[in-house]
Amino acid sequence: MDAQFDLVIVGAGPGGLAAAIAARALRLRAVVLDAGPRLGGQLLANDTPILDCPGLDVATGSELAVRLQRHLERLGGEVRVDARVERIDVDAGVVELAGERLSGTAVLLATGATRRRLGVPGEADVPGRGLSPAARRFGPAFAGRPVVVVGGGDVALEEAALLSRLCPRVTLVHRGQKLRARPDFRAAIAAEPRIDLHFETRLVAILGDPDVEGVVLAGPDGERQVEAAAVVVCVGMAPCSGLVLGQVDTDDAGFVQVDARQRTSAPRLYAVGDVCAGAWWTVSAAIGQAGIAVKDLERRLAADEFAALLASGPTFAPVSWAT
C-alpha cells in the first residue's frame, strides 16, 4: 500500500528542507527524501559563509544545513536519508523507492544541479582532476606548484584568485572571447600577475598518472602542453532532473520550466532551486521558492483544486526570467 502525503519532497538541500519546514508549519503531511547519508545537499560542500540569507549568518553551508535540520526536527517533520528515489510518476504523484511507493497529492522536486564535466581524458571527480570548487578545501595540497582553472564565470575567477595566493602560476582557460564574471572578480584577475589568462582556448586532456603533471590546451595557435599539478573545472551546472525528463517541460539543457508559483507543466509537480530553469544559484532563492511553492499548494488544497485540475489537464504559462 502506498504511503499517503500531501507533499513528497525529493531532495534535502536548502530548497527541500525549507519546503518541509513550510509544509509542517502549515500542517501539511509531508516527507523529505534524500539519497545521501546527511541532509543538506550542496550545502555540505560549501566551506564559505552564507551571506545572502537574512538572519542566518553562518560560517559554512554545513552549519546552515544543521540549523535547517534542527528547525524541521523541532516541528516534528519527517525526513529520510539514504532514500534513493528510483522513479517519479508526476501525473500520479507517486515516488518509488526500493520496495516502497510514496503517494503525494503533490511532489516537489528539489534535486539541485551538479558541476558540469569537460569529458576529456584524465578527468575524474577527485581533487586535482577537475573537482570544483576546490581552492579552499584542497588548495594547500597544491601550494607552490602551477595549477589550471577552466571557466569564465564567477566561480572560475574566484577559484583562480584564491589559488594565486598559494601557487606561483595559475593558468585560467576560457573558451569564450570575454569573461562572464562580475566586474570586481574580473578586476582582481587582471591585477594578479600570477594568473595567466587564455581566451578562445579549450582544455582537451589532463596528463599524468596517478598524479597530474600537465594539460593539453587547444587555442588559436593550435595545441600545446602546459605544466600543472592540478586542474579545477568551473564550466557551469547540469540539472539533476533525470527523474522527470520527458514528463515535464524543460529547457534545452534539461532544467525544469516553472512559473511564478514554482508549478511545472505537470499539475502535481513543483520544482525549486537549482534544478529550475532560470535558477539564481543562491541559497536564499531556493528557500524563497520553497515557501512560494508550499503556500501555493496549501491554497490549492484548501480550494479542493486538484480534482478539477487533474480532470481538465495541465495549464502552463512559464514565467519570463528576462523581465
- Are 192 and 260 in a shared domain? no
Examine residue 322 and state whether it is found in any structural domain, yes or no.
no
Q: Please list the residues that pair with 130 across neighbouring strands.
A: 232
Examine residue 77 and state whether it is found in any structural domain, yes or no.
yes
- Are 150 and 184 in a shared domain? yes
Last residue of a domain, which of 204, 233, 262? 233
Examine residue 66 and state whether it is found in any structural domain, yes or no.
yes
- Are 246 and 304 in a shared domain? yes
Q: Please state which of the ranges 32-41, 122-131, 261-270 shows the lowest mean pLDDT.
A: 122-131
- Are 245 and 272 in a shared domain? yes
Last residue of a domain, which of 198, 233, 268? 233
Amino acid in the structure at residue 305: E
- Are 216 and 162 in a shared domain? yes
- Are 28 and 131 in a shared domain? no
Q: Please list the residues that pair with 205 across neighbouring strands.
A: 216
- Are 8 and 97 in a shared domain? yes
Examine residue 317 and state whether it is found in any structural domain, yes or no.
no
User: In the structure, what pLDDT confidence band is assigned to residue 42 with cuts at 50, 70 and 90?
Assistant: confident
- Are 131 and 180 in a shared domain? yes
The CA angle 103-107-110, to the nearest 5 degrees, is 135
**Mean pLDDT, rounded, for 132-154:** 87
User: In the structure, what pLDDT confidence band is assigned to residue 308 with cuts at 50, 70 and 90?
Assistant: low
User: In the structure, what pLDDT confidence band is assigned to residue 120 with cuts at 50, 70 and 90?
Assistant: very high
Domain count, the chain: 2
- Are 159 and 209 in a shared domain? yes
Q: Please state which of the ranges 56-65, 101-110, 188-197 shows the lowest mean pLDDT.
A: 56-65
- Are 122 and 222 in a shared domain? yes
pLDDT score for 107: 97
- Are 245 and 105 in a shared domain? yes
Non-local (6+) Cβ contacts of 259 within 8 A are 316, 317, 318, 319
- Are 244 and 301 in a shared domain? yes
pLDDT per position as a tens digit, 13-25 = 999 999 999 999 9
Whether the pLDDT of residue 318 is over 60: the answer is no
Whether the pLDDT of residue 320 is over 50: the answer is no
Examine residue 323 and state whether it is found in any structural domain, yes or no.
no
pLDDT per position as a tens digit, 155-177 = 899 999 999 999 999 999 999 99
% the chain with pLDDT above 70: 94
Examine residue 170 and state whether it is found in any structural domain, yes or no.
yes
Examine residue 268 and state whether it is found in any structural domain, yes or no.
yes
Rounded to two decimals, what is the model's pTM?
0.82
For residue 131, give the CATH number of its domain: 3.50.50.60
Q: Which domain holds residue 41?
A: 3-114+237-312
Identify the burial level of 150 via C-beta atoms within 10 angstroms of its C-beta, where 0-12 means exposed, 13-18 middle and 19 or more buried.
Answer: buried
